[in-house]
Amino acid sequence: MALKDLKIQNVRNLREARLHELGQINVLFGRNGAGKTSVLEGIHLLGMGRSFRGTSVRSLITHGQAACTVYGEITSGSGTGAPVRGSTTIGVQRELSGEAQVRIGGRPARGLAELVEQFPLQVISAASFDLLTGSPGGRRQYLDWGVFHVEQRFYSQWKRFQRCIKQRNNLLRRGKIADQELSVWTRDLAEAGAAISEYREAYFERLFPRFLTIMEELAPSLDALELRYRRGWDNSLTYPDALQQGITTDREQGYTHSGPQRADIRVLSNGHLAAETLSRGQQKLVVCGLKLAQGQLMSQAGPGQCTYLIDDLPSELDRPHSELVCGQLADMQAQVFISCVKRQDIESVWPAGSQGTTLFHVEQGVVSRENAVADG
């Protein structure tokens, strides 16, 4: 998949922005606060129905406007350089009330799940680099984003699990409850939870070696890197047995203690947590490796390449490491949208001879296309 044309209306300081004939590498440059990140947010809105900078719709919509809207034409194929097999139009509107309207190919979408299948995205921003040091919930989201794209059965089981654990916890908080009533929700919870864990573990087995291969290129000095998956309950027990063993504690404290909702991924270096032993720069490279590995698996599983949104990479990584990350992106031949202050910030670290670079200057909410400087 690749984004060919884009129109953004009323996203932060972007009253109306049109980006036509987008290339494989799309560089957005301009001063801080000009609106570069807002363009990336608009693309994220097109692919996921929300911003990557938070959940507040009100802050996303231009002040004084009732809604923001993004339209895009997505071409199908393995990448921007591949033969185009067809195209699909996507339109997403978010209102101040929080309501979302999504149309795919001119018809209402069945839901946000259908939207994210159409245009798979991977984001690398300042917030991404908290993946190692942040809460387990962020790492579960990272894991599930990958599982969703490679395992079609995952989403239905995930929704089932969320419904079951909500009902079970409501019963547990109520105090005096009939065993039969609780057992019904416990049985369904156990089935959905076991399925989720199975899908996560299968995905993890594919992610780990891909991550190591990428890290050998990004940071060969970081040897003995390891990923460990913790499923959320005692490995010696099945999930039904874990729920049965913990029923007394669950009743006493009013919520379900064990299960996929407590899963986590641990990144280790030489047997120690990477978040505690690696430098901040090394941690950022590890996060880039995780994101790139996941994007590769998404591209393999889906109808086309994953698209990468990268916000101000030069301010997050030094030049040598930026070169390594950009080299990996170039090798993937995926579509990339990357922001920076000066165009030279990216031109100087992107591999020489790369084709399909498109430049956009952003200033005070106005986006204009600029010509690339020819090599030599």
Q: What would the mean pLDDT of 210-238 be, rounded to a whole number? A: 95
C-alpha distances in Å from residue 210, one per residue of 113, 217, 236: 26, 12, 28
Question: Which range is least confidently modeled, 75-79, 110-114, 177-181, 308-312?
Answer: 75-79
Mean pLDDT, the chain, integer: 92
The residue-averaged pLDDT of 154-170 equals 96
Whether the per-residue pLDDT at 141 is higher than 90: the answer is yes
Q: What is the pLDDT of residue 84?
A: 47
At residue 354, the pLDDT reads 72
Is the CB of residue 87 less than 8 Å from the CB of residue 74?
Answer: yes
Q: For residue 313, which phi and psi values (nearest 5 degrees)?
A: -60, -40
362 in Cβ contact with 39 (< 8 Å)? yes
Q: What is d(CA 360, CA 324) in angstroms, rounded to the nearest whole number?
A: 23
Q: Say which residues have a Cβ less than 8 Å from residue 265's Cβ, sequence separation at least 6.
A: 139, 142, 143, 204, 227, 228, 229, 230
55 CB neighbour count, 10 Å cutoff: 9
Whether the pLDDT of residue 85 is over 70: the answer is no
How far apart (Å, rounded) are the C-alpha atoms in residues 293 and 199?
17
| CA 134 from centre of chain | 15
d(CA 99, CA 113): 16
Largest CA distance in the chain: 78
Residue 98: CB atoms within 10 A of its CB come to 10
Domains, the chain, in order of start with CATH, read 1-120+304-376 (3.40.50.300), 127-301 (1.20.1050.90)
pLDDT of the residue at 376: 41
Instruction: Kindly list the distances between the CA atom of residue 164 and the CA atoms of 141, 177, 180, 190, in Å, as whole numbers in the listed order.
Output: 19, 16, 15, 9
**Burial class of residue 375 in the structure, from the number of CB atoms within 10 Å of its CB (0-12 exposed, 13-18 middle, 19+ buried):** exposed
- β-partners of residue 227 are 267
Q: Give how far the C-alpha of residue 75 lies from the chain's centroid of Cα atoms, to the nearest Å.
A: 20
**CA 90 and chain centroid, separation:** 19
Of the candidates 308, 290, 320, 330, the residue with the CA atom closest to the CA atom of residue 210: 290
Asked if residue 237 has pLDDT above 60, the reply is yes
Closest to 70 in 3D by CA, of 98, 102, 97:
102
Bigger pLDDT: 92 or 304?
A: 92
Question: Apex CA 134: angle with CA 129 and CA 140, to 5°?
Answer: 95
Question: What radius of gyration do the chain's Cα atoms show?
Answer: 22
Specify the pLDDT at position 371: 79
Strand order in the sheet with 67-76: 14-19, 2-11, 67-76, 86-95, 100-104, 107-108
Query: Given phi > 0 = left and psi -120 to 50 = alpha, else beta, which region is 64?
Result: left
Would the pLDDT of 18 be above 80? yes
Give the pLDDT score at 77.
61
The residue among 67, 55, 64, 70 whose CA lies nearest residue 6 is: 70
Q: Which of 83, 28, 82, 10 is nearest to 346 (CA)?
A: 28
